[in-house]
Amino acid sequence: MTQSSISSPKLEARDLTREADGKIIVDHVSMKVYSAEVVAVVGPSGAGKSSLLRLLNRLDEPTAGTVYLEGQDYREMAPRELRRRMGMIMQMPYLFSGSVAENIRFGPQQRSEDISDADIERLLERVGLPGFSDRTVDRLSGGEAQRVAIARALANDPEVLLLDEPTSALDEDAKAVVETLLEEIIREEGLTCVWVTHDRAQALRMGDRVAVMEAGRLLRIGSPQEVLNA
Ligand SMILES: Nc1ncnc2c1ncn2[C@@H]1O[C@H](COP(=O)(O)OP(=O)(O)OP(=O)(O)O)[C@@H](O)[C@H]1O
Ligand SMILES: [Mg+2]
């Protein structure tokens, strides 16, 4: 590996900005996230954390600045390809009504790829839900539904995961299960992550670095100890 490929970021926001209804909700945010790194993003409600994630995979359009994925400006990439490479896990599991298998098949089908029953079962085993293929998603518990959402994201074989408070809607037991599961998967797959959380203890546990947002701006980014004890 060359020096430049070691030091070049997987994901980079440069002056990323979004103005909506005359208000700047994300304000010239620049940050680099390196391959297999987890950056935890903390900050008060309304700071722009979710808005930042939506800009990172272009669910919203920046009004200024841009994002580079492996050095390529994301405006030059097809949105569908971008979202395949960058999975998103939301606070409320992102699933449609139907079976677990149908939900997991959705992403690959979007690109005319078929995912085999065996591959679906492997993904379900990976999230601790063997045999759940034919279950109806409406009857799952919150923790189970979030684990299906994780399997669904993994079915796209992403390089980056954007996580928006993935455990905050869960009860204490499910929270611990889902956090541990995500941690294992992220480390095993070497996923590059931006993980939004309002839970500073979780940021400390999960973040290789921590970023603090306030009023749309990135106030600080650094090691968890340095940032959270500041
Ligand atoms: N589409 C929109 N149009 C106008 N303002 C918006 C829009 N979406 C979000 N905002 C505003 O942008 C600001 C940032 O919102 P955002 O949801 O990103 O904050 P957050 O840090 O994720 O907060 P929380 O911790 O409560 O989830 C808020 O003031 C919000 O009201
Ligand atoms: Mg939010």
What is the block-wise mean pLDDT of the chain (230 residues), using blocks of 10 residues? Answer: 65 98 97 98 97 97 98 96 95 94 95 94 98 97 97 97 97 96 97 96 96 98 89
Q: What is the pLDDT of residue 1?
A: 46
Ligand 1 atom 1 nearest Cα: 20
Helix axes 142-154 and 117-126, enclosed angle (nearest 10): 130
Q: Which tokens is 132 given? A: 């759940």
Ligand 1 atom 11 nearest Cα: 25
Q: Other C-beta atoms within 10 Å of 171: how many?
A: 11
**For the residues of 140-185, what is the DSSP string, one character each?**
S-HHHHHHHHHHHHHTT--SEEEEESTTTTS-HHHHHHHHHHHHHH
For ligand 1, say whether the CB of 217 is within 6 Å of any of its atoms.
no
Instruction: Name the 3-class secondary structure at 210.
Output: strand
Per the CB < 8 A criterion, the answer to whether 168 and 115 are in contact is no
pTM: 0.95
**Which of 56, 55, 89 has the alpha carbon at shortest distance from 168?**
89
Strands 11-20 and 64-69: antiparallel
Q: What angle do CA 94, 47, 182 make, to 5 degrees?
A: 40
For ligand 1, say whether the CB of 20 is within 6 Å of any of its atoms.
yes
Dihedral sign of CA atoms 46, 62, 161, 12 in order: negative
Q: What is the pLDDT of residue 6?
A: 56
Q: Which domains does the chain have, with CATH numbers?
A: 3-94+158-228 (3.40.50.300)
Distant-in-sequence, close-in-space partners of 177: CB < 8 Å, separation ≥ 6: 128, 143, 147
**C-alpha 25 – ligand 1 centre gap (Å):** 7
